[in-house]
Structure 1
Amino acid sequence: FGHGTIITTHDKLGHYLSLMTRQNPIESQFINSLTDNLNAEISLGTVTNIEEAVKWLSYTYLYVRMSKNPLVYGIPSGFREDDPFLENHRRDHVINAARRLDKAKMIRFEEHTGYMFSTDLGRIASNFYIKYDTVEVINEMLKAAMTEGDILNLVSNAQEFHQIKVREDEMDELERLTSDGCELVVAGGKENTHGKVNILIQSYVSRTSVDSFSLVSDMAYVAQNATRIIRALFEIALKNGNPLLAARLLEMCKMVDKRLWTFENPMRQFSILPHEILTKLEAKKLLPERLREMDSKEIGLMVQHVKMGPVIKKCVHQIPYLILEASIQPITRTVLRVRLEIKPDFKWDDKIHGSTAEPFWIWVEDPDNNHIYHSEYFMLHKKQVLSEEPQNLVFTIPIFEPLPSQYYIKAVSDRWIGSDVTHAVSFQHLILPERHPPHTDLLTLQPLPLAALKDARFESLYTFSHFNPIQTQIFHTLYHNDCNVLLGAPTGSGKTVAAELAIFRVFKEYPKHKAVYIAPLKALVRERMDDWKIRIEQKLGKKVVELTGDVTPDMRAVANADLIVTTPEKWDGISRSWQTRNYVKTVALLVIDEIHLLGDDRGPVLEVIVSRTNFISSHTEKRVRVVGLSTALANARDLADWLGIREMGLFNFRPSVRPVPLEVHVKGFPGQHYCPRMATMNKPTFQAIKTHSPHKPVLV
């Protein structure tokens, strides 16, 4: 079987001898990292509440050892009588861990319901394997404005480096490394762990030689973990919307990766260039931006080496460089759509860039308020660079009044130092949409009784005794006037009754004319037909006809109808031949349900119908009343102007004005891709339903 040799310090010798001779059982150390592991499970979505966490803990080796050897884990020997499966003990551990995570802002723990939700900080900590203790340090030390020295001090205090020991025999070499390799002040000095870590990080970046074998090992460990921690800090700053700190942290990530200080010439990233040439470039302050504008001969003369001119020029054009062009379009006075065109302007080389893609970070920042309003990770593939094919991104950002002078769009390479471009988006000539008038206020009126219809036949169609507040407020306009009306009101507020009031006026005042009801969906047409066939046709004796792609009655039935229920496409086809179809000319009322779908695929058809109706009305000199029904609208005034509706006929109630009160809860989910994001929503959606509305209807 071979031989194994254990080399350890004298103070640990007894421990290993006891393991070899007494054959002590191996106990679980999982309890020490329970907080970090619980955060990982919550971030993944596998654990969403206390009960699931308790069950998850039963799958661990910790649970096996707690059951076998309870005294080691602080469990009294008589636990089997009260808690044979250690559920209460596991629950206590989970709740304590959840409280610690909640205090560190890594999760949100609702103790009264037991639900746990991951935060951006918790997800980043899980993705980058950042310990809970380190997150506490980050919460305490991370500020909005930090220098490179402050950032290195924060990283050096991370719990990941707690096992790094300061040895007496390393002091002289640490002193040498401080003087030779440290460009920044070392906070705390070399006598403690975080000072030693700081020195090793700076010496690693400076490529300072290390003689001590223990320091070589420590430096490799520190460099490997420092990059990971700084990456996590960068994403935290990005999520917090801090552009200056995010840019500085990303530069430091690349600084440690490339072992190159940010104040050094970015051309040092090319190993093909001799040290003497790089020194001359730095002495003459020839940065890549300036070198791009020079020809190879001029570069060769500047570095006093003509043959190196083409080589330097080639390297300059291999640094990933992007050309940004942005166009902006205001959607509302507070939302701006940005179309960003990205053109690659560099030469691809597999030896330099690999064979797949170059990653970039793109964000939009407000320099006045020092805030990032949008950020995303962008991959520029080799094929796109070789074809010089422009890439397009479309996203929306908020805008506030008074208008800022400009926003900045930044594209920063994820791997290359000196590869960043800034594009200014000016708002100097930006014209925002007009301010929308406020919503219609719901007046405190006494509900109208059905007797207000003053027609026993109409009153008999309803089972209620009074109209609701919205119907009461619009009653006079719909039932006693012929003006066009636009009604914007929430779903379930009785808009169908409003349409019926306008239809009853036609039946009462213009009995020889027709009313047309247009619904966007066949299912909605069928629903109205099932209702009105009984209430209007059988009880009132008025003929109701359906006109859809599925049902096409003969022309005589249509001509004799009092109410036509149809779809936009069908009525568009019929009204085109209005000169030869007299029944089209006898239409006195056009009710368009769900008129907010003007902005949808069927919008052009609805526009044509309204325009043609106005055209027919002007030729026949017979006014056609238009009633539009919709949900609450943002630009109701624009739609009303197009429909020819005056102030008297415009009713645009707030979304909150509804017969059944509605509570709105908004919960954000991370991830850009649709399918993974939808998968992460499943459990939280069910929990949200149980939390906010366990016994009442819910709309997700």
Structure 2
Amino acid sequence: MLGRAGQPQYDTYGEGIIITNHSNLQYYLSLMNQQLPIESQFISKLADNLNAEIVFGTVRNRDEAVQWLGYTYLYPDSQKHADVIHSAVALLEKCHHIKYERSSGQFQSSELGRIASHYYVTHNSMATYKQHLWLIMSTLELFRVFALSNKFKLLPVSIPQNSCQINLQEYLKVRQEEKLELAKLLERVPTSVKESVDEPTAKINVLLQAYISQLKLEGFALVADTVFVQQSAGHILHAMFEICLKRGWAMPAWACLALCKMVERRMWGSMTPLCQFKGVSQEVIQKAEGSKQFPAWYRYFDLDPPELGELIGIPNAGRLVHNFPKLQLQVQVQPITRFLLRIDLSIVPDFRWDEKIHGGAETFFIIIEDIDGEIILFHDTFIVLCQRYTEDEHNVTITVPIFEPVPPDYYISVVSDQWLHAETRLSTSFSQKSFHLRRPSSSCNLCLSPRYTTRNMRRSYLNTIQTFNKIQTQVFQALYSSDKNVFVGAPTGSSKTICAKFALLKSWNKRDNSRADCVEPYQEIVDQRVTE
């Protein structure tokens, strides 16, 4: 970039400023004066950038990936290494970010790949989370997994393609002058750290806890490292939360969400929720946390604003407490089949809206857990938009599975994504419900070889297909040779549209001027079907 200082083709002079260590000064001068070759560093981040393009949809196959690589400065080198794209894609496939069909070169993004792209997490870090996150985890273990993140490495290193492991010695190093202060912080943070003060993961763990605890740091280098850890904590913990949600692990998901809010609010979950409001004095907070005259937090909402103001010691604090996000829930359950349950959830906001406090919207997570509180059966996002809708009733219909033996109840929680202790939880009892319904009939998979298309099919409508996939082969006979009603349930990307074309071909082969209705979600797809 220094070589292009000024505007090329217009300026004959330009200035550039490099801020670096004195030991590196001669290296940068040699790059400018001796015109040493400058190698592109994009290759070290190729896999992560390619994953982002695949998730966004701009790169769908191997040929498009090669074309996309041509837009970068790495392209001249890539001509010497023709398999650079294949190596990057194989690495993403090994880390479970994408599905790679080698014969056709097609890519398909996975949930892990989408999470990595949305939260700017490297594939090495995602591999670490995938390895260390588990169904039952404590807060202590979550802090340690966070400290293992690849982002906290001091310098970028090359990772072998056949490995997603991380070397702990490559992390943010512990300086000799920091050890004394880190040892003092180890004794002050609330969550114990297993590692010694000499280990980099212990330093990252302690700095994050010190930031949440609002501890004062003395060393300038530690302050700078704390800023880096704090800025990275938000998206890393959210990525860990999303991973636990997708896997259906309730306990680590709740813990990750709580840690996200603790980092954002700089307070621990054991502290009074009054700490989340601005203007509440430290004296009032200490009284609320240590005095017996203060009731439990859920009892605050039973008091009138004047009573709350008198109790807390701030005249206007009563109105402030009623700004705390709180929801009223009502639920009705109805069995649909022997293994399927419908839940009708009614949500009514029960708090005063203040744009200075809540902004334009408040986001909540709807989470349904099993009776043991270990497995997440359903999760979704619920958003309350501005003051206009705070007094309205919002209805949500949810479908969840029922397993044998039938559990006595499920737990439904609606929790804020920003406010600690802003959670409403209730149980749904199944004791009065009848699940003695007829078991639904389903067809069995037949042992069939992939079916080849006929000449008439290729002429009329399926001219680009030579062989049907497994799902198309299974349903072909029912759709092309029968007039019975057929329901086809298949995952995304399994070419279900081709199955619908079987029924259209059968209808057109009758030559009785029959018609068919085709429903599509977008006008562009309708135009494509008409053209076909």
Normalising by structure 2, we get a TM-score of 0.76
Q: How does 1:205-216 map to 2 (within 5 A)?
A: 205-216=212-223
Aligned to 1:571: none
1:178 pairs with one of 156, 181, 186: 186
| Local SS of the residue matching 2:221 | helix
Aligned to 1:55: 67
Whether 1:23 aligns to 2:35 is yes
Distance of 1:295 and 1:665 partners within structure 2: 54
1:490 and 1:429 mapped to 2: Cα distance? Answer: 40
Q: Distance in 2 between matches of 1:396 and 1:324?
A: 17
Which ranges in structure 2 are unaligned for 5 or more consecutive residues? Answer: 1-12, 155-171, 445-476, 507-517, 521-532
User: Does the alignment pair 1:116 with 2:107?
Assistant: yes
Give the structure 1 partner of residue 513 of structure 2.
none
Is 1:316 aligned to residue 321 of structure 2? yes
Aligned equivalents of 1:427, 1:377: Cα separation in 2: 25
Alignment partner, residue 370 of structure 1: 374
- 2:261/2:417 contact within 8 Å kept: yes
Amino acid at match of 1:399: I
What amino acid maps onto 2:259 in structure 1? M
Aligned residue in 2 for 1:156: 147
The one of 349, 353, 366 equivalent to 1:348 is 353
Name the residue aligned to 2:90.
99
Q: In the alignment, residue 241 of structure 1 is paired with which amino acid?
A: G
Determine the C-alpha separation between the residues in 2 that align with 1:290 and 1:384. Answer: 27
Give aligned pairs, total. Answer: 441
Query: CA separation in 2, counterparts of 1:144 and 1:438?
Result: 33
Tell whether the 8 Å contact from 1:336 to 1:398 is kept in structure 2 after alignment: yes
Asked if 1:380 is matched to 2:204, the reply is no
Q: Does 1:334 align with 2:346?
A: no
Per-residue CA deviation, residues 607-639 of structure 1 (Å, 9 max, x unaligned), is: xxxxxxxxxxxxxxxxxxxxxxx526xxxxxxx
For 1:436 and 1:352, locate their aligned partners in 2 and report how far apart those are by CA, in whole Å.
Answer: 51
Letter in 2 for 1:54: V
Partner of 1:169: 177
Identity %: 38
Contact 1:162–1:193 (Cα < 8 Å) also in 2: no
Q: Is the 8 A contact 1:108 1:118 kept in 2?
A: yes
SS in structure 2 opposite 1:331? strand
AA of the residue aligned to 1:218:
D
Residue 423 (structure 1) aligned to one of 423, 426, 431: 426
Structure 2 residue aligned with 1:35? 47
Task: Report how far residue 154 of structure 1 moved.
Answer: 0.7
Shift of 1:358: 0.5
Secondary structure at the counterpart of residue 238 of structure 1: helix
Residue type at the aligned position of 2:417: D
Asked whether the 8 Å contact 1:101–1:132 carries over to 2, the reply is yes
Superposition deviation, residue 297 in structure 1 = 5.9
1:127 equivalent to 2:118? Answer yes
SS in 1 for 2:236: helix
Distance 1:300 1:57 in 2: 63
Structure 1 distance, partners of 2:40, 2:442, is 63
Q: Choose the corresponding residue for 1:252, options 246, 259, 271.
A: 259
Identify if the C-alpha distance between structure 1 residues 384 and 339 changes in structure 2 by more than 3 Å, giving closer, same or farther.
farther
User: How far 1:491 moved relative to its partner?
Assistant: 4.3
Tell me how far 1:383 sits from its aligned partner. 3.1
Report the structure number with the largest CA radius of gyration: 1
Quick one: which amino acid aligns to residue 168 of structure 1?
Q
Taking the aligned partners of 2:142 and 2:119, their CA distance within structure 1 comes to 17
Tell me, yes or no, if structure 1 residue 239 matches structure 2 residue 246.
yes
Structure 1 partner of 2:297? 288
1:439 and 1:159 map into 2 onto residues whose CA distance is 46
> Distance in 1 between the 2:442 and 2:288 partners?
65
Q: Name the CA shift for 1:440/1:185 in 2 (closer, same or farther; >3 Å).
A: closer
Deviates more, 1:122-131 or 1:237-246: 237-246
In 1, Cα distance between the equivalents of 2:94 and 2:15?
A: 49
Aligned partner of 1:410 in structure 2 is: 413
Q: Which residue number in structure 2 is paired with residue 432 of structure 1?
A: 435
Deviation at 1:7, TM superposition (A): 4.4
Q: Contact (CA 8 Å) 2:490, 2:496: kept in 1 or not? A: no
CA 287–315 in structure 1, closer or farther in 2 if over 3 Å, else same? farther
The alignment partner of 1:410 has SS state of: strand
Q: 1:274 to 1:61 in 2, by over 3 A?
A: same
- How many angstroms does 1:302 deviate by? 5.2
Partner residue of 1:667?
491
User: Cα distance, 1:196 vs. partner?
Assistant: 1.2
1:359 aligns with 2:363: yes
Q: Deviations over 1:373-421 (max 9, x none)?
A: 22111110123444x1111112222122322111111101010001001
- Structure 1 residues 28-58: Cα deviation after superposition (integer angstroms, max 9, x where no partner): 1111001101111111122222222222212
Match of 1:479 in 2: none
**Conserved? CA contact 1:156–1:198, under 8 Å:** yes
- 1:3-22 matches, within 5 Å, as 6-22=18-34
SS at match of 1:28: coil
Q: Would you say the 8 A contact 1:250–1:414 is kept in 2?
A: yes
CA distance in 1 between counterparts of 2:86 and 2:356 reads 52
Q: SS at 2:203's partner residue?
A: helix
Contact 1:149 1:186 in 2 (8 A): yes
Structure-2 separation of matches of 1:293 and 1:113: 64
Task: Please say if residues 251 and 373 of structure 2, whose CA atoms lie closer than 8 Å, have aligned partners that are also in contact.
Answer: no
Q: 2:234 aligns to what?
A: 227
Contact kept? 1:366, 1:372, Cα under 8 Å: yes
CA distance in 2, matches of 1:437, 1:3: 75
Of 182, 187, 198, which aligns to 1:191? 198
Equivalent of residue 273 in structure 1, options 271, 280, 284? 280
Aligned-partner Cα distance in 1 for 2:490–2:181: 57
Query: Cα deviation per residue 1:285-331 (whole Å; 9 max; x = unaligned)?
Result: 6442021123456556655x4xx2x5332222111000111122222
Q: What is the CA-CA distance between 1:687 and the residue it aligns to?
A: 11
Contact 1:190 1:199 in 2 (8 A): no
Contact preservation (8 Å) 1:267, 1:288: no
Please provide the CA RMSD for this pair: 3.0
C-alpha deviation, 1:25, in angstroms: 3.8
Give the distance between the partners of 1:350 and 1:112, measured in 2 at CA: 55
| Shift in alpha-carbon separation, 1:215–1:408, aligned structure 2, 3 A | same
- Alpha-carbon deviation of 1:367? 2.3
CA distance in 2, matches of 1:347, 1:56: 51
Question: Is the partner of 1:54 in helix, strand or coil?
Answer: helix
Counting only pairs closer than 5 Å after superposition, residues 684-699 of structure 1 correspond to structure 2 as 684=493
Asked whether the equivalents of residues 371 and 408 of structure 2 are also in contact (C-alpha less than 8 Å), the reply is: no
**Structure 2 counterpart of 1:459:** none
| 1:202 maps onto 2:209 in alignment | yes
Q: 2-side partners of 1:260 and 1:689: how far apart?
A: 55
Q: Relative to total residues, which structure has the larger helix share, 1 or 2?
A: 1
1:326–1:297 CA distance, 2 compared to 1 (3 A):
same
Q: Which whole-Å deviations, capped at 9, do the CAs of 1:123-160 have from their partners, x for residues lacking one? A: 00010000111112112211111111111111111111
Distance in 2 separating the partners of 1:494 and 1:49: 36
Alignment correspondent of 2:511: none
Distance 1:217 1:689, change over 3 A: farther
